[in-house]
Amino acid sequence: MMFASRSPESEKDAGAIGRGTSLNVLEDLSPGNLHGVMGPRNIERTAVVSPEDRKGATLIVEGIRKSFGGLHVFSDVSFTVAPGEVLGIIGPNGAGKTTLINVVCGMLRPSAGRVLLGGEDITGGPIHASSRRGVIRSFQQTNTFRNATIRENISRAVRFSRGESSAWKKLSPLVEAFGLEPYLSVQSDKLPYGLQKMLGLVLVCATSPKVLLLDEPAAGLEHRERPRIDIFVDHMRREFGCAVVIVEHDMELVRRLCPRVLVLDSGRVLAEGDPAEVLSRKDVIDAYLGAVDEEAR
Ligand SMILES: Nc1ncnc2c1ncn2[C@@H]1O[C@H](COP(=O)(O)OP(=O)(O)OP(=O)(O)O)[C@@H](O)[C@H]1O
């Protein structure tokens, strides 16, 4: 069985220059925001999170419902992700996957339900408060410092996120694995899309997240670049004990990285469990409307 590997949005993203993965902390950190959300006081508050506190934490999502006015997106969504665990969230276009991530990271307030991080209620954010606690969301679009070199990008992220010089040590394996080393002095917006996206992931790492929410991390990447996502997720689990949630349309990647998947469809959780089992269920296959290769079933 095979599902479509990309959403229409992914196709739109493919090949775009100047876009990559961004994250909520760097939204705060982007130059335009440095005197806004991340004014001096906020920078200080972000920097006080010590590395010792960053050991991963259990994320519990309890009975979440979300509506936009009359539009009911989903209800009664619950799941738990332990430190070091990876959960895949899949479902057809419009099922509410991104909305769910937005609720978890504090960008959106749920209509009902709770989000707990290490037992602490963080429901409804705001996003900078959730990111300070270590819930980091990556986006499909970039928010790196476009006019800064790769080295400066990383330094700023390290400085503002933890202020810890040894942070570079934890980042350098990724810089090397992603092939960024030869480009450290290159301005980030001069990089090809794939490398910008990898830089975005390195910046995510610089924030030492406890919970990582990855929204279509493989979108726009060439097939040969996609194993870098595996390297990244593995690194974040090993080095930081991150609880990882991945929204992704690339089912190959989901099968490789996620021992457990949750399927959203028609406003509810349609299935949850081992990907091999879940992805062979008829109701799940039907939800994807014929994107099925019968031979592989
Ligand atoms: N801010 C908003 N206001 C109103 N409706 C919204 C808002 N955000 C999302 N929606 C709607 O919620 C529904 C779920 O959208 P969402 O983007 O979460 O789906 P998705 O599963 O991530 O889709 P895709 O796989 O295409 O990215 C859609 O009908 C969308 O139009």
Q: Would residue 56 count as lying in a domain?
A: no
Give the closest residue to 29 by CA, choosing from 110, 108, 119, 145.
145
Closest Cα to atom 8 of ligand 1:
99
How many domains does the chain fold into? 1
Average the pLDDT over 133-146 and give the result. 82
Does residue 54 carry a pLDDT above 90?
no
Residues 6+ apart with CB under 8 A from 247: 88, 89, 90, 97, 98, 100, 101, 213, 214, 215, 216
Q: Is the CB of 97 under 6 A from ligand 1?
A: yes
Q: Would residue 58 count as lying in a domain?
A: no
Q: Would residue 178 count as lying in a domain?
A: yes
Ligand 1, pocket-test mutation among 6, 9, 71, most atoms within 8 A of CB: 71
Label residues 162-190 b or e (16+ Cβ within 10 Å = b). bbbeebeebbeebbebbebeebeeeebbe
Least confident of 42-46, 74-78, 272-276: 42-46
Give the closest residue to 29 by CA, choosing from 113, 131, 106, 126.
131
Ligand 1, pocket-test mutation among 73, 90, 107, 266, most atoms within 8 A of CB: 73
Whether the predicted interface score ipTM is above 0.95:
yes
Q: Would residue 55 count as lying in a domain?
A: no
Closest Cα to atom 31 of ligand 1:
94
Centre of ligand 1 to C-alpha 98, Å, is: 7
- DSSP single-letter state for residue 72: E
Ligand 1, pocket-test mutation among 12, 97, 214, most atoms within 8 A of CB: 97
For residue 200, the enclosing domain spans 8-46+72-296
Query: 252: which 2 tokens?
Result: 């190959």
Closest Cα to atom 18 of ligand 1:
96
Specify the pTM: 0.81
Centre of ligand 1 to C-alpha 4, Å, is: 19
Q: Which amino acid is at 199?
A: L
HEC readout, 73-141: EEEEEEEEECCCCEEEEECCCCCCHHHHHHHHCCCCCCCEEEEEECCEECCCCCHHHHHHCCEEEEECC
Q: Would residue 57 count as lying in a domain?
A: no
**Length of the chain in residues, anyone?**
297
CATH number of the domain bearing residue 79: 3.40.50.300
**CA R_g for the chain:** 18
Q: Would residue 65 count as lying in a domain?
A: no
Give the closest residue to 55 by CA, choosing from 198, 210, 186.
210
Q: Would residue 174 count as lying in a domain?
A: yes
Centre of ligand 1 to C-alpha 167, Å, is: 36
Query: 167: which 2 tokens?
Result: 């942070």
Cis peptide before 126 (omega within 30 of 0): yes
- What ligand 1 atom has the least distance to the C-alpha of 264? 21
Q: Is the CB of 31 under 6 A from ligand 1?
A: no
Least confident of 23-32, 82-91, 165-174, 175-184: 23-32
Average the pLDDT over 223-234 and give the result. 94
Centre of ligand 1 to C-alpha 267, Å, is: 11
What is the enclosing helix (H) or strand (E) of 70? none
Centre of ligand 1 to C-alpha 281, Å, is: 25
Q: Would residue 211 count as lying in a domain?
A: yes
Q: What is the pLDDT of residues 154-173, one digit of tens each?
A: 888 887 665 566 677 788 89
Residues 6+ apart with CB under 8 A from 172: none
Q: Helices 150-161 and 167-177, interaxial angle, to 10°?
A: 140
